[in-house]
Structure 1
Amino acid sequence: FFAIRFHSRNKIGHTRQGYFVRRCCVQIGLFIIMFDSTLQNLKIQLTCKLMFLFSCVCVFFAHNPTPSTPTPKILNTISSDQDTQSRDGLYFQDGKRRVDYVLVYQFKKSSRKGAGSRNRESMNSRRQEPDPEIGLQPVDFPEDDRRLRREEYEHNLLETGLELESDEEANCYGLGFVKIHAPWHVLCREAEFQKLSMPTNKVIKQKTGILSKISNVMHKITSPFRPNLKEQNNVTFKHLSYPFSREKQHLTTCTKAKYSMGKELLYEEWASYGMFYKYQPLDLIRKYFGEKIGLYFAWLGVYTQLLIPASTVGVIVFLYGCATVDENIPSMEMCDHRSNITMCPLCDQTCSYWKLSTTCATARASHLFDNPATVFFSIFMALWAAMFLEHWKRCQMRLNYKWDLTGFEEEEVSDHPRPEYEAKILSKVLKKESKNKETEKEKLTWKDRSPAYLTNIVGILFMIGLTFAIVFGVILYRISTAAAMAVSSDPYTKDNVRVIVTATAVIINLVVILILDEVYGSIARWLTQIEVPKTDKSFEERLIFKAFLLKFVNAYTPIFYVAFFKGRFTGRPGKYMYIFRSMRMEECAPGGCLMELCIQLSIIMLGKQLIQNNLFEIGIPKLKKLIRYLKLKREVKLEPDSNYKKPQQYEADYNLEPFAGLTPEYMEMIIQFGFVTLFVASFPLAPLFALLNNVIEIRLDAKKFTTELRRPNAAKAKDIGIWYNILRGIGKLAVIINAFVISFTSDFIPRLVFMYLYSPDGTLHGFTNNTLSYFNVSHFEAGSEPREAMALGYKVEICRYKDYREPPWSPEAYDVSKEFWSVLAARLAFVIIFQNLVMFMSDFVDWLIPDIPKEISERISKEKLLMVDLFLKEEQTKQQIVEALSSQEKERTVENSDEESPKEDMSDLPENYTKSTDSSNSHHVNAEKQPV
C-alpha cells in the first residue's frame, strides 16, 4: 500500500529512486509477512517466500524506467519511449526518426490574422503544414523575400536527401524551428565525400589463460577513467592477420545509439568537481564534441599534469628562501639598527631623510624570491617548457592514431571559401561586368585588401598606444600618491608608503586589464572581419594573432615596466629626471624591484584567474541565459496562447549561450603559460597557483560545455593549430626575459661581482655599503631639498642612495664608478651565456625526444604494409578474373572459327548437330554474362 501511495503522490515516483523505493517496499512487506507467526497456512508462507525471492531478483536485475521529463541540464537527453521522445522534441512526430539538427529563424508576428499560409514539404508525412510565420513584418528587407529565401534553402536541403519537419506549435515568441533528420544513406555519401576511412580490422585477438587474467587485473588498476558500458555485439565484416591496438576498438565497434555518446556520463563524471583526481574521458569528449574540442581538453590535461613537477620544484625553491632568510647577509645588514645609514629623500620637498633599517621587512621578503636557487629554477623552467611541448607532440600523435586522424589533412575541409568572401567576390564581379561586360574568375588582390590592411595596422598601433598611455597614467598615480602620503601625519601610512602605493596601483592595473581584454577581443574580431579572409582557417589564425598580440601587450606591459624600466631612469640626487618638469621618476627600494615585481605578478595572475577565468566564465553565460529566459517569459505573457504546451528540448537548448569557439579558452591558458614561464625567476610559486587553477578550470569548462553552452558543431583537427607556434615562441622568449630579470632586476650578478672582485674575505659582508653611493646635501637643486631637514633629530650632511657613483669628495664627483662598468659587463655576459646555454639545452631536448612514439610509428607502418598487401591481393584476384574471361573469350573465338571453316559441308550434317552447336554457343554467351 505504501508503495502504491508513493508511486501515485510523490514527485520522485517516476524516477530511478522511486522505482527502487517501490521495490524495496514490496520486499519489506513480503519479508514481514513471511516471518509472521500468526500465519499458520504453509501455502501462504511458501507463496510469500517465492514472491520475496522473485522481488529480490527483480530489484537486482531491474532496468530503470525512463523518466517522463528529461534532465534539463543535459543536452539532447535520450528517452526509450517513442511518444515521450517525440513530445520532448528529440524525434519527429513518428517517434522513429531522430532530430539531428535544428534550424532557427526569427520573424515578427503581424496583428492581422489569417493573412495567408504557405506549404512546407516534410519528409515525415508528405503533407502540407501551416507555417508559424504567417503575416510577417519587414525587418531588414521585405519579409516575403526572407520567406522565399528560407523556402529555397529548405528545398535545397530536401534535394540533398535530408528530411525536414517544422514545429507547428512553437512557444518561443518570434522564433520558428525546423527539425532536420539525416538518413543513413546521406551520411554514407557525405562520408565518401569527406574521405572518412573505413575500419580495417573488426576483431581483436585476445589472449587467453592465466596471463590474460593477470593482465586484465593490472589494466583495471592502472587504466584511467573508463565508463562501464554494457558489452556490445560486434559484427565481423573483414579480418586481417595483424591484431591492431585496443585503442582503435571504438572506431570498429557498432554500439547502440543510446550508449554511443555518453552524455550522462560526461555530466555526472567529467563535469563533477568531485572527480578532479580522475583522468578526463577523452574518447567520450571526442565522440560528443568532436576532435577539435577533444584535442583542447587533451592539451589542457597534459599541461595541468606537467605543472605538478614544476610546482614541486617551485615550492622547494620558495622553502629554500624561507630557510636561508636568517642567514642572508645583505638583509641582515639592512635590518641592523646599529648601522647609522641615512638615505636621501624619495621625493622633492615633502619627503624627508629616512633610515635604511626601515626597509628590513622588504629586504627579508625579497630574499624569498631573490636567492641563488631562482637561477636554477629559471633553467629548470626553460627545460620544462621544452619537455612540455615535446610531450604534447607525442600525446598528440597517440591521439591522432587513436582517433584515426593520421591521414587527415585539414586542407581537405578548410579550403572552402567563407560566405563573406564569396559575397565580396560576387560584388566585385558584378561591378566589373557592369563596366567591361566580361566574366572571368576573380579573387581579392592586395589592392582590394589594402584599406583593410591599413585599418588593421592603424587600429593595432592605436590599441597598443592606448595600453602604454594607461600604464603611464598609473605611473603618474603612483608618483603623486607617494608624494601625498609622504606628508601624512599618520606614522603607519608614512612607513608603508611603498606597499600601499604598489598594492593600489596593481589593483588599478588589474581592473584596466580585465576591461581592455573584453574590448580588445571585440576589436580583433572586427579587424579580422574587414580583411575578409578566404577560408575559416585563415580567419581563425588572423583573429588569434591579433587577439593574442593585443592581450599580451595589455597583460604584460605593467609587469615589463616594473621589471626593466622602473628605477632605471631616475637620475641622482641633485640631478633627477622629471615628468612634466614637476614629478620625479619613482625609484626601486634598496633591496631592488624584484619584490615589487613579485607583488605585481601575483596579483595580476591570481586576479585574472579568479575573476576572468572562473567568475566571468561561468557567471556571464548564466546571466545571459537568465536575461533571455526573462525576455521570453515576458513576451509569452504579452501574447497569451490557449494552446501553450511544455517547451521542447530544442527550445530549452536555444536559450543556452551560443558557442563562441575555442579561442577564449586557449587564450586564457596561453596567457597563464606566459605568467608561469616568462617571469618565473621573480615568482617561483606561479606554477603552483596555475596548477590549482587548472584543476578547477578543467571541471569548470566541462560543466560549461555540458550545461551552459549550446552543443557546438563537431569539427575535425589533427593538432592545436597556431597555438603550438605561440607556445613555442613564448618558451623561447621566456629564456631571454628570465636572463634579463636575473641579471638586471635582481641582485644576483652584483653579489657575485662583489664576492669575487671587491670582498676582502670572499663573503657578502659589506655588500650593502658597496651598493650605496654618497651625496652631499648641500648640492641639492634649489627648491628640491626636504622641508623637514631635522626629521631624524639631527642635521644630515651626507645621505646615501643606491647607485655605483663616485663620492662628492672625488675629482670626478657623481660620475659612474668602475664598479658600475664591472657589474654591467658581468650582467651582459650572463645574459649571453645563460641565453645560449639554455636554448642549446632546450634544442637538445627537442632533438633527443622523437615527436612520434616508437610503438605508434611501428603500428602505422604495419598498417600501411597490410593495406598494400590487401590491395595487391585484390589486384591479383582481379587479374585472375580478367585472365579467366580472356581465356574463355579465346576459346569461344577458336570454336567459332572452327564452325565457319567447313561451311560448305554444313548442309550434309544432321539437323540435330546444328541445334546442339547453337545451344552450346548460347551456353557460352550466358556464361559470359554471369556476374563474377
Structure 2
Amino acid sequence: MFPMKDLCSDKVLGLYFSDGKRRVDYVLTYHIQKSGSTRRHKRSSRAPLQPKEDPEVAAQEHQTDYHEDDKRFKRDEFEENLQKTGLELEKDEGSTIPGVGFLKIHAPWNVLCREAEFMKLKMPTKKVYEVKQGSSVVEKIRMFIHKVTAPLHPKVDTSRAQCQKPLSHPFSREKQHLEWMDGWMDINNIYIFVACDIFIESCFCSQLLYEQWASYSVFYKYQPIGLIRKYFGEKIGLYFAWLGVYTQMLIPAAIIGVIVFLYGCATVDDNIPSMEICDPRNNITMCPLCDQACSYWKLVTACGTARASHLFDNAATVFFSVFMALWAVLFMEHWKRRQMRLNYVWDLTGFGEEEEVLMPSIVCVCVCVCVCVCVCVCVCDEKVKLTCTDRLPAYLTTVVMMGFMIIVTFVIVFGVILYRISIRAALHMSSHPVVRYNIRATVKTTAAIINLIIIIILDEIYGAIARWLTRLEVPKTDKSFEERLIFKTFILKFVNAFTPIVYLAFFRGRLVGRPGNYLYVVGSYRMEECAHAGCLMELCIQLCITMLGKQLIQNNLFEIGLPKLKKMLRRRKSEMVSIQEPVPHKTLKRYEKDQLLGPFVGLNPEYMEMIIQFGMVTLFVASFPLAPLFALLNNIIEIRLDAKKFVTELRRPIAAKAKDIGIWYNLLRGLSKVAVIVNAFVIAFTSDFIPRLVYQYMYSPDGTLHGFVNHTLSYFNVTDFDPGTEPLQPMHLGYKVSVCRYKDYRDPPWSSTKYELSKEFWAILAARLAFVIVFQNVVMLMSDFVDWLIPDIPKDISLQIHKEKILMVELFMKEEQGKRFAARDNQDNCTVPLSANQRPPQPRSRPVSQANCS
C-alpha cells in the first residue's frame, strides 16, 4: 500500500503528456520484450566461455520473436483504430518497471461530447427547483432522527438529500436547456475514460475515502455512498449501498436472536425433558451406539447434550423463524426503496437496457483486450451467428460437468460420514477413559472442521470450473456472460456449502434402522444416530464452524493475505528484473505505482460471499439463532476491509453504470422463499417441538411434559441382537442387561407386532406434515401482505419524479418557442449586413477553463 500523501504529491510526473499540456485520461499497459539478438548479446556478454548455442534454444527464441512481432502488429492496428476515433496517444516504453510499456491516452473535448451523446449521459439543465420539505409528523420524525444520527454520518457524504436538485436530461450539444459542462471534473467523474488515480481531483477523493471510509476507526459511521459512486461508479456504489442496508437490517435480527438464545439459557433449568434426562433416579439403560465395541450406557450421561440442545430447541425458536421470514421480506422491500432513492439522486431513473449496450467503442475494446476475450461483444457484423446446434455441445458439457460436480460433493459428504462412523468405533475401543468420555464432542468437532476445509477448497475449484463452462457457451454480451457465470457459481457453491448441513438437518438419524435390524453401508459400517436430544445440536455446531470458518479464513484472511502476497511477489519480480536489466533510478510515475497494485476482478466474489451468508442466516435460523449476530460482526469488518482493498490494494476499476444489483436480487428473493420451507421442515422434523406438543395435548396424563422422555423411548430385548453385533462387554455397567431402550416410536418386544412403527409415530408424522403446511402458508401470506403494504417507490421520490416530468415539458415548450422566435428574427435580419464590430457566430468549442486543464 502506498501512503496517500505520496500518491497525491506527484502532481506532474505521469499526469500529462510530454508537452505538459494534454492531461492523461487513461493508461493501457502491455508487456514488451527485447529482440532475440539483444538477448543473445546480453547472454554472451555475461558468459563469454559459453559453448556453441543450442539449435533448439535458437528455434525457440525465433518463435518467441515471431509471437512478439505479431503482438506488436496487433497493438499498432489497435492504436490506429483509437486514433481514428479522435483519441490522442503517447507511448512510454522507458519506464522504471522493466518489461512493461504504457500507452497514455488523451480524450479531446469534442470526443468526450460525442461519446456523451452516444451514452445519453445525463447533464443538469439550467432550471433548478427547490425540494420543499414537508411539515407532516413523519417529516418531523425524520428530521429528529437525522439530528440524532448526525454523528454517524461521514463528513463527505454527498448522497444525503439536498435542498436543491437540478433537473437532468440526456446530453446533446443542440439542446439549449442544458448547462454547458463548466468544469473538467463534471464529466470525468462519470465518464468511463477516467484513469486509475490519474486526476488530482480523483486523488483527493481517494484520500477522503481512505480517511472516512477505509479506516477501521470509523466502523460505526455510515458509508459515504455518494463519494463511492463518484470515485468508483454506480455499479460499485450500489454494491456498497446494498451491503450497508443488509448490515443495517442485521441489527434487529441479531438483537432478537440474542434474546431467543438468552431465553433458552434462562429456561434450561425449568425444562422438564432435560430434567428427566439428567435425573439419575430414572436409571434408563440405552442400547449400544455401535456394534461390538460399544456397550450399554446410561441416559444420564447425555445430560450435557440435552441441556445444550434446549438453548436452540425451545418454543422461542418458532417465533424467531416467523420473525426472520418477515425480516427477509422487510429487507428486500427496504432495499428496493433505497435503490429507487439512489436511482433518483444519481439520475438513473430513465436508465434502460438499451443505454447499457450503447457504450463507447474505446471502452469495449479496452475491456476485451484487458481480459483477453476472444469474442468481442461490440462487433456489429451480424453475419456470423452461433446457432443452437453450434451451442449444443457446450450446453451438454455444462450439464454433465455441473451434475458431476454435484455428485462429487455428495461423495465427499458421504466420505465424511464414513469418517465419523469409523472414528467413533475406533475411539470406543480405546482404553483411555478420557478419550472414551469425549467421543461425541471429538467426532462432532473434527468432522465439522473437515467439512469446512473441503468447502473452502471446493469453492475455489468450482469457481474456476464455472468460468470455464461459461466461456464454452460463448454468450453474446457481457451481461449474459456475467449472469450465466453467477448462476453456475451460485449453484455449485450453494450445494457445496449446504450439503453437509442438509444431511445433518434432515437425513442423519432417520436412515439408521433399529437394534437387531440396523442399516449398514460399505460392508459393516452402521449408519450414525443422533443423540437423544436430537441432531439439532450437531447442526448448530456445523453452522457455527462453517460461518466462522468461511468468514474468518476464506473471506477475511484471504482478502487480506492474498492481495498483499501477490503485491509482494509483483514487487519482488520487478526488483529481480531490475537487477538483471539495470535501469537508471527514477521516481515512479503514478501509473507505474498503479501497475504494482492488484487487478480488479469484479464484484461477483463479494456478492457471492454475502449471498451464501444470507443463506446461512435465513435457511437454518431455527437451529442457530445467533447466526444474525455472527453475520453482523463479520459485515462490520467486511465493509471496512473491502473499502481498504478497493482504495489501497486494487487498481481503480472502470466506472460502470447500473440501476440495480442485477441477478443477485432474484437470488436473494429465491432464498427468502426457500427459507420459509426449510425452517418449517427444521422445526417439524429436526427439533422435538412437534413431538412435545403431541405428547402434551394427546398422551400426557396431566397436560405437562412429565414422562415425555420415557414416551420417546422404545424397548428392545437384547436376545434379539443379530449374531456378531452384541456388545463385547455386556457387564460394562456392572449388571446384566435384559432390555435396553432406544429413541423411536415402535411397539415393544412383548407386543404381537413387535418392533413395528407404533400409532404414536403416525400421529406425530401427521402433526409434523400439518405444521409444515400451516407454517408455510401462514408465513407466505404474511410475507406477501408486507410486500403489498410497503410501496417499492417512496412517496416523496414519486412526487419529485412527477414534478420533474412536468418541469421538463415546460422547458421543452419554452425552448421550442425560443427557436421559433429566433428563426423569425433570422428571416427578418438575413439581408442586414454585418457591421465592422460584429463577427460571424463561431461554433461551440471547448471552454477556456477546459483548454487550460489540457
TM-score normalised by L of structure 2: 0.85
Work out which of the residue numbers 773, 784, 792 in structure 1 matches 2:725: 784
Q: Distance in 1 between matches of 2:39 and 2:611?
A: 57
Partner of 2:438: 496
1:297-336 correspondence to structure 2 within 5 Å: 297-336=240-279
Q: Which amino acid aligns with 1:579?
A: V
Cα deviation for residue 647 of structure 1 reads: 2.2
Is 1:272 the equivalent of 2:244?
A: no
Corresponding letter in the other structure for 1:326: D
Q: Is 1:458 paired with 2:400?
A: yes
Using the alignment, how far apart are the partners of 2:157 and 2:276 within structure 1?
Answer: 68
The match for 2:71 is 146
Residue 505 of structure 1 aligns with an amino acid whose one-letter code is A
Which residue of the partner structure matches residue 678 of structure 1? 619
Match of 1:227 among 145, 155, 158: 155
CA RMSD of aligned residues (A): 3.2
**Match of residue 898 from structure 1:** none
After superposition, residues 715-734 of structure 1 pair within 5 angstroms as 715-734=656-675
SS of equivalent residue, structure 1 residue 768: helix
Quote the Cα distance in structure 2 between the aligned partners of 1:238 and 1:734. Answer: 43
Residue aligning to 1:565: 507
Other structure's SS at 2:122 match: coil
Report deviation, 1:149. 1.7
Matched with 1:182 is: 107
Q: Provide, for residues 50-84 of structure 1, a one-character-per-residue CA deviation record: whole Å limited to 9, x for no partner.
A: xxxxxxxxxxxxxxxxxxxxx924499344xxxx5
Amino acid corresponding to residue 430 of structure 2 in structure 1 = S
Q: Deviations over 1:316-352 (max 9, x none)?
A: 0000000000000000000001111000000111100
- C-alpha distance in 2, partners of 1:859/1:697? 35
Structure 2 residue 716 is the aligned partner of structure 1 residue 775: yes
Deviations 1:114-145 (A, max 9, x none): 99xxxxxxxxxxxxxxxxxxxx9654953323
Aligned-partner Cα distance in 2 for 1:664–1:483 = 41
Residues in 2 aligned to 1:743 and 1:182: alpha-carbon distance in whole angstroms: 65
| 8 Å CA contact 2:33, 2:68 repeated in 1 | no
CA–CA distance in structure 1, aligned partners of residues 328 and 753 of structure 2: 48
Q: How does 1:133-532 map to 2 (within 5 A)?
A: 138-139=63-64, 141-201=66-126, 203=128, 222-223=149-150, 225-227=153-155, 258-259=200-201, 262-414=205-357, 441-532=383-474
- Kept after mapping to 2: 8 A contact 1:678/1:734: yes
Q: Which residue of structure 1 lines up, in the alignment, with residue 12 of structure 2? A: 86
- Counterparts of 1:740 and 1:519, CA distance in 2: 31
CA separation of 1:750 and 1:503: change in aligned 2, threshold 3 A: same
SS at match of 2:724: coil
**SS of the residue aligned with 2:30?**
strand
Match of 1:869 in 2: 810
Q: More relative contact order in 1 or in 2 (CA 8 Å, sep 6+)?
A: 2
Q: Does 1:652 pair with 2:593?
A: yes
Equivalents in 1 of 2:759, 2:5: separation in Å?
72
CA contact (8 A) 1:806 1:813 kept: yes
Find the counterpart in structure 2 of residue 77 from structure 1: 7
* Contact kept? 1:75, 1:706, Cα under 8 Å: no
**Which amino acid counterpart does residue 688 of structure 1 have in structure 2?**
L
SS of the equivalent of 1:200 reads strand
Q: Distance in 1 between matches of 2:157 and 2:408?
A: 56
Q: Which moved more, 1:258-267 or 1:835-844?
A: 258-267
Amino acid at match of 2:78: Y
Q: State the SS of the aligned residue for 1:646.
A: coil
Q: Say which SS state the counterpart of residue 779 (structure 2) adopts.
A: helix
Q: Are residues 281 and 344 of structure 1, via their aligned partners in 2, closer, same or farther at CA, if it must alter by over 3 Å?
A: same
2: distance between equivalents of 1:555 and 1:819?
Answer: 35
Q: Which residue of 1 aligns with 2:56?
A: none
Matched to 1:776, the amino acid is: N
Inter-partner Cα distance in structure 2 for 1:408 and 1:161: 27
Hey, what's the Cα distance between the residues in 1 that align with 2:626 and 2:315? 16
- 170 and 263 in structure 1: CA distance in 2 versus 1, 3 angstrom threshold: same
Query: Which has more radius of gyration?
Result: 1
8 Å contact 1:202–1:252 — kept in the other structure? no
8 Å CA contact retained: 1:302, 1:392? yes
**Residues 220 and 188 of structure 1, relative CA distance in 2, 3 Å threshold:** farther
Partner AA of 2:815 in structure 1: E
Residue 646 of structure 2 corresponds to which residue in structure 1? 705
Partner of 1:904: none
* Alpha-carbon separation, structure 2, partners of 1:76 and 1:713: 23
CA contact (8 A) 1:75 1:711 kept: no
* Aligned mate of 2:798, from 857, 860, 863: 857
TM-aligned CA distance change 1:616 to 1:885, over 3 Å:
closer
Cα deviation, residue 113, structure 1: 5.0
- Give 1:792 deviation, angstroms: 0.3
1:229 & 1:342 partners in 2: Cα distance? 67
Distance 1:859 1:206, change over 3 A: closer
- Report SS of the residue matched to 2:585: coil
Structure 1 residue identity aligned to 2:76: E
> SS state of the match for residue 199, structure 1?
strand
Task: Please tell me the residue identity of whatever aligns with 1:597.
Answer: L
Task: Call closer, same or farther: CA 1:217–1:844 in 2, change over 3 Å.
Answer: closer
Aligned residue in 1 for 2:138: none
Equivalent in the alignment of 1:740: 681
C-alpha change, 1:882 and 1:440, in structure 2 (3 Å) is closer
> For 2:124, what is the secondary structure of its paired residue?
coil
Gap runs ≥5 in structure 2: 41-60, 134-141, 159-163, 169-178, 187-198, 843-854
- Distance in 2, Cα, partners of 1:333 & 1:788: 27
**Gaps in structure 1 of 5+ consecutive residues:** 1-70, 116-135, 209-214, 231-235, 241-248, 430-438, 890-920
Pick closer, same or farther for the CA change 1:112–1:171 going to 2, 3 Å: farther
Partners of 1:852 and 1:74 lie apart in 2 by 40
Using the alignment, how far apart are the partners of 1:280 and 1:638 within structure 2?
46
Whole-Å separation in 1 of the counterparts to 2:157 and 2:740: 78
Which has the larger displacement, 196-205 or 348-357? 196-205
Find the residue that maps to 1:86 and give its secondary structure: coil
Q: CA separation in 2, counterparts of 1:568 and 1:449?
A: 43
Contact 1:76 1:90 in 2 (8 A): no
Q: Which amino acid aligns with 1:691?
A: L
1:338 alignment partner, SS class = helix
Residue aligning to 1:595: 537
Pick the aligned partner of 2:33 from 94, 102, 108: 108
1:324 is paired with a residue whose SS is helix
Identity rate, percent: 65
Tell me by how many angstroms 1:875 deviates: 2.5
Partner SS for 1:773: strand
How many residues align? The count is 772
The answer (yes or no) to whether the contact 1:421–1:533 under 8 Å persists in 2 is no
Matched AA of 2:297: W
Distance, in Å, in 1 between the alignment partners of 2:750 and 2:428 is 31
Q: What secondary structure is seen at the aligned counterpart in 1 of 2:282?
A: coil
TM-score by length of 1: 0.78
Distance 2:533 2:626 in 1: 20
Q: How much has 1:188 moved relative to structure 2?
A: 1.6
Cα shift at 1:618 = 1.3
Alignment of 1:895-906 (within 5 A): none
Q: Is the contact made by 1:320 and 1:373 (CA closer than 8 Å) also made in structure 2?
A: yes
Of 496, 499, 509, 1:554 maps to 496
How much does 1:496 deviate? Answer: 1.9
Q: CA deviation at 1:227?
A: 3.5
CA contact under 8 A between 1:107 and 1:137: conserved in structure 2? no
What's the offset of the Cα at 1:216?
Answer: 11
Cα 1:403–1:354, aligned 2, differ >3 Å: closer, same or farther?
Answer: same
CA contact (8 A) 1:202 1:237 kept: no
Query: CA offsets per residue over residues 583-627 of structure 1, 9 Å max, x none?
Result: 100000000000110001100111000001100011101111111
In the alignment, residue 652 of structure 1 is paired with which amino acid?
A: K
Contact 2:243 2:639 in 1 (8 A): yes
Instruction: Indicate the residue corresponding to 2:139 in structure 1.
Output: none
Distance 1:587 1:922 in 2: 103
